[in-house]
Structure 1
Amino acid sequence: MASAANSLRICLRTCRQLPTVRPVVRPAFAARPFARRRALSSTPARQADENDGAEAPEEVKRYYNPAEVIKDLLREEGLTEQQRETLTQTLTQWGQMPEEDKKRFEDMRREVHASTSQIRYVVKPKKDSFWNEEEKDTDLITDEIGEDDFEEDDMLSIGHAKLDEHRDAREYARIAVWEMPLLSRFAKDFVPPTAEEPLRFRYTTYMGEFHPADRKVVVEFSPKDVPELSEAQQLKLMKLAGPRYNPEKGLIKMSSDRFEHQAQNKRYLGDLVQKMITAAKDPTDMFEDVPLDTRHHDFKVRPQFPKEWRITEERQKELQEIRRKALVLDEAKRKSGALIDGKEVIKNYLESMPAHREPEPSMVRRGGPAKGRLGKGKW
């Protein structure tokens, strides 16, 4: 009967490809015995798998029985007559085999299935292993690649950031070359402000970026530039301005950032200046008994260059004449030999000195040994 079993094995190998069965649970024969808890142990006890000891599913049992496998193959379409005839003969031989040989053959298939079960199952890393990585926190993932691992098919985030900077630079360069020259059609000639426009506004911008200080507006004007005010009214306006008046420059400076937009702050400052001018025109009280207070301003003394020291044309001609007379006097002394040459005097002095000079006297300490840092001896 060994020949019948051998022919059956050859037929199953040549006529079909065994189906790949992926059971959900482990079969009973591959179960691991549960390790009992020990009284003294240096390693923690592990709980047995919940599928250990479970019975094998029905499809695995059919895989152990060759007769069921051959019947499934005969139901398939696309088999040739020779293959069907071979499978039929194999099924007949399997039916004629004794039960002992069938049981031995099923045990052999069960052993092969158990030895290859590790290939069919997905091996999960152990949480207590040394090389196991921790689970990724999806809330902290900020990479552009996403949650997938880096597969060496793309640049890192630093490279993408450099590319973004390069794109921004190219975009601004493109705007400067192609779009900014078109702004020349909107250019207007500068027209200086007239006497009817004494107010000067100053704005702050951060080139499109949001900033709390970009809504601030500053206005400056001189009371003397307001044509509709007299000298007494101008003095009253200076007194109304208080610490906002600069006595050195003669300007009144005010600012506002209480509103959200620059136009609103400008409108507020314009109305405030108009109210101050209206109050200065009020002849009811001209504040004649109130002196102009300038204690808020720190006067800085700037030294001026004396006018007497300035070089005029007459002073320049006088200095040139003095220099010319000094040169003529030196030339006369040189010809007569009365002019003293400093370099020549130093050279003659060094040559007249002896080759060996006596050593200079040095200070000698008198008294006992030194005590402390400097000692108590006499010099």
Structure 2
Amino acid sequence: MASAANSLRLCLRSCSQLPTMRAARPAILASSLCLRRALSTTPLRGAAAEETTFDEDEFLETKRYNNQGEVLADMLKREDLDDADRARVKDMLETWNKVPQDVRDQIDATTRQVRQSTAQIRYQVKPKKASFWNDDEKDTDMITDEVGEDDFEEDDILSIGHAKLEEHREAREYARIAVWEMPLLTKFARPFEPPTEAQPLRFRYTSYMGEFHPAERKVVVEFSPKDFPGLTEPQQLKLMKLAGPRYNPDKGLVKMSCERFEHQAQNKRYLGDLVQKMIATAQVSIPLGPCLCLDPTDMFEDVPLDTRHHKLTSKPRFPKEWRMSEERRAELESIRRTAFELDQKKQKSGRLVDGVKIIEKHLQNVPVMEDQPVMARRVGKQPARKR
């Protein structure tokens, strides 16, 4: 199916070119062909075929008309027209001759302007065979003046600019909340009260400022077995063994988390019930079946506390022996005092060596050679000379 651009090009060409050229084309092409040789397997070759190749665009360019009257007058000369078409062409020619000259000039100017504006789509550009994928050539079939809804007309910024403006609006919104709404929360502020012995559990939540996030449901609880006043030391040790890898021996805390439920309150309730079950297991027996239950006197004494899950990192500490004590400070003071008194005695007797004076005296005795330049001697390993 031909495109709109090719259809317009063919219509303009048929209206402004000689009508008889289409009929004359087969004869011209027939004259340019050469006969095939019988019983031959070689393809056609010859310079004569290339010289007589018919170029329709070049041939039609030489047959242009100045106005529509010349086109109609030339159509009357055709012999293949029937009587009805010839009568219709005569009527059109008479009507054209009655048109005033200024109207003719206006029609010719309009036709010339249309031809100039459609010059790019009337002539098809032949792609070069040497080009790769015809990248350097323009496809005239894709030329169109229609503007769609999604076309960019240089009247708006790009999507990157819109995203930047959206970030700016979000920052201004949070700044507005911090200035006007956050100060109103001061009336709900309460002084800090440290947890009491009746509150040994410490819960931690995660909030994303009102936005939905799958990690927001997670709740973490931390507690120390030593914070429960109702547990004895064997029961506390049993609770540590029940916690397993969730027990941190360095901090002495048990840390557990839950995110299996949709809301934070549900996860918190599950952790609270789990801690109660662990405490009950460390204190009393729990039935495991109709005839099987744990022995409340069994404190897991034969099971050692497994801490292999926790890697102990030993930090280097300053040795206690190297710390400054009063005895060491007094000893250093006595050594410094003895050395100072020895230097005073040597100075009085003239046996104290002053390095600064010795260097200055040596520099005064060194002669200065002003006429000859001083050559710096290269220090280091000298290269071996070639023999």
**TM-score scaled by length of structure 1:** 0.58
Tell me which of 157, 182, 185 is aligned to 2:184.
182
1:150 counterpart = 2:154: yes
Deviations 1:267-307 (A, max 9, x none): 22222211111111125132222121222222222233233
1:343 counterpart = 2:356: yes
- Report the counterpart of residue 126 of structure 1 in structure 2: 121
- Report the CA distance between 1:363 and its aligned residue: 6.9
Query: Number of residue pairs matched?
Result: 284
- Report the counterpart of residue 97 of structure 2 in structure 1: 104
* CA–CA distance in structure 1, aligned partners of residues 114 and 380 of structure 2: 103
Alpha-carbon distance change, 354 to 156 in structure 1, aligned in 2, over 3 angstroms: same
Runs of 5+ consecutive residues of structure 1 not aligned to the other structure: 1-25, 46-55, 57-99, 370-379
Tell me which of 316, 319, 329 is aligned to 2:342.
329
Deviations 1:74-105 (A, max 9, x none): xxxxxxxxxxxxxxxxxxxxxxxxxx998732
* CA–CA distance in structure 1, aligned partners of residues 109 and 101 of structure 2: 13
Q: Give matches, 1:12-91, under 5 Å.
A: 30=15, 32=17, 33=19, 35=22, 36=25
Contact 2:224 2:254 in 1 (8 A): yes
- Report the CA distance between 1:311 and its aligned residue: 2.6
1:235 counterpart = 2:253: no
- Report the counterpart of residue 218 of structure 2 in structure 1: 216
Alpha-carbon distance change, 101 to 365 in structure 1, aligned in 2, over 3 angstroms: closer
Deviations 1:193-223 (A, max 9, x none): 1111111222333444544433322221111
Higher-RCO chain (CA-CA 8 Å, sequence separation at least 6): 2
Contact 2:202 2:221 in 1 (8 A): yes
**AA aligned opposite 2:309:** H
- Report the counterpart of residue 308 of structure 2 in structure 1: 295
* CA–CA distance in structure 1, aligned partners of residues 318 and 264 of structure 2: 44
Alpha-carbon distance change, 346 to 261 in structure 1, aligned in 2, over 3 angstroms: farther
SS of the counterpart of 1:126? helix
Contact 1:247 1:297 in 2 (8 A): yes
* CA–CA distance in structure 2, aligned partners of residues 198 and 246 of structure 1: 16
**TM-score scaled by length of structure 2:** 0.57
Contact 2:121 2:143 in 1 (8 A): no
**AA aligned opposite 2:315:** R
Deviations 1:330-368 (A, max 9, x none): 3343333222223334455566678899x89977869x9
**AA aligned opposite 2:232:** S
* CA–CA distance in structure 2, aligned partners of residues 239 and 28 of structure 1: 97
- Report the CA distance between 1:240 and its aligned residue: 0.9
Alpha-carbon distance change, 334 to 207 in structure 1, aligned in 2, over 3 angstroms: farther
**Percent of residue pairs identical:** 53
Aligned Cα root-mean-square deviation (Å): 4.8
* CA–CA distance in structure 2, aligned partners of residues 214 and 189 of structure 1: 27
Alpha-carbon distance change, 282 to 179 in structure 1, aligned in 2, over 3 angstroms: same
- Report the counterpart of residue 203 of structure 1 in structure 2: 205
Contact 1:217 1:256 in 2 (8 A): yes
- Report the counterpart of residue 257 of structure 1 in structure 2: 259
Alpha-carbon distance change, 328 to 165 in structure 1, aligned in 2, over 3 angstroms: farther
**AA aligned opposite 2:186:** S
- Report the CA distance between 1:112 and its aligned residue: 4.4
- Report the CA distance between 1:109 and its aligned residue: 7.9
- Report the counterpart of residue 81 of structure 2 in structure 1: none
* CA–CA distance in structure 1, aligned partners of residues 107 and 229 of structure 2: 108
Runs of 5+ consecutive residues of structure 2 not aligned to the other structure: 1-10, 33-49, 58-67, 69-92, 126-137, 286-294
**AA aligned opposite 1:260:** E
Contact 1:201 1:218 in 2 (8 A): yes
Contact 1:29 1:114 in 2 (8 A): no
**AA aligned opposite 1:310:** R
Which is further off, 282-291 or 29-38?
Answer: 29-38
Contact 1:237 1:276 in 2 (8 A): yes
SS of the counterpart of 2:318? coil
Contact 1:220 1:252 in 2 (8 A): yes
Alpha-carbon distance change, 354 to 204 in structure 1, aligned in 2, over 3 angstroms: farther
- Report the counterpart of residue 323 of structure 2 in structure 1: 310
Q: Give matches, 1:159-170, under 5 Å.
A: 160-170=162-172
- Report the CA distance between 1:191 and its aligned residue: 0.8
Contact 2:245 2:309 in 1 (8 A): yes
* CA–CA distance in structure 2, aligned partners of residues 193 and 42 of structure 1: 102
* CA–CA distance in structure 2, aligned partners of residues 255 and 148 of structure 1: 52
Contact 1:202 1:219 in 2 (8 A): yes
- Report the counterpart of residue 245 of structure 1 in structure 2: 247
1:115 counterpart = 2:128: no
Deviations 1:18-67 (A, max 9, x none): xxxxxxxx89994544755768879899xxxxxxxxxx9xxxxxxxxxxx
Alpha-carbon distance change, 44 to 293 in structure 1, aligned in 2, over 3 angstroms: farther
**AA aligned opposite 1:286:** M
Alpha-carbon distance change, 296 to 331 in structure 1, aligned in 2, over 3 angstroms: same
